Amino acid sequence: MSEDQQLRVSKITEGTVIDHVTGGQALNVLAILGIDGSGGEEVSIGMNVPSERLGRKDVVKVEGRELSQDEVDVLSLIAPAATINIVRDYDVVEKHRVERPSEVVGVLQCPNRNCITTKDEPVDSRFAVLEEGVRCAYCDTIIRESIADHIHVD
């Protein structure tokens, strides 16, 4: 492939590169990170780019921000094959794959309207992370598809 045919996205000076995101999930990644374009963050996104490992993938670069473990845990629900690269002074100084936690607290909304977490009770949602989805710890509702639609991050 010639240089003219390659996708070119500039390197970031300091921040995080989230690579190997499941194709089509980049906008959900931005939502999880609370990035909506109004905060002045510099963000580069590659969507549905070719990947040997995934077939198609998304890539998200966020200048000036390193992700918290809580953010990485939530990302793992929609992008279980993602890698997190921490960049400082243009160099990758840390690289690791996301690991799915055993549970997530306060980041998903239970779709069961009768669940205590959907009432006016001071209870954080709590979901066990399963291989095939997530299960509410209070009402046992299982979410298998479209987990991103249930993410609620303050």
- All domains in the chain, ordered by first residue: 3-97 (3.30.70.140), 103-150 (2.30.30.20)
Cα dihedral 41, 83, 100, 107 in deg (nearest 10):
10
- Tell which residue, 34, 101, 104, has the closest CA to residue 65: 34
Looking at residue 8, what is its pLDDT? 57
Q: Which residues does 61 contact at the CB level (< 8 Å), separation at least 6? A: 9, 12, 15, 16, 17, 18, 43, 44, 45
Stated as kind and residue range, the H or E segment containing 74 is: helix 69-78
The structure tokens 């009768």 sit at 114
Looking at residue 92, what is its pLDDT? 92
Q: Is the dihedral of CA 33, 38, 44, 50 positive or negative?
A: positive
**Average pLDDT over every residue of 58-67:** 90
Give the integer Cα–Cα distance in Å for 68 and 123. 23
Q: Which residues does 114 contact at the CB level (< 8 Å), separation at least 6? A: 139
Say whether pLDDT at 116 is over 90.
yes
- Tell which residue, 66, 102, 101, 100, has the closest CA to residue 84: 66
- Tell which residue, 110, 95, 109, has the closest CA to residue 154: 109
- 56 among the known binding-site residues? no
> What secondary structure letter does DSSP report for 80?
T
Q: 105 vs 54, which has greater pLDDT?
A: 105
**Average pLDDT over every residue of 107-111:** 90
- 139 among the known binding-site residues? yes
Stated as kind and residue range, the H or E segment containing 84 is: strand 83-88
**Average pLDDT over every residue of 67-80:** 86
**Average pLDDT over every residue of 109-136:** 91
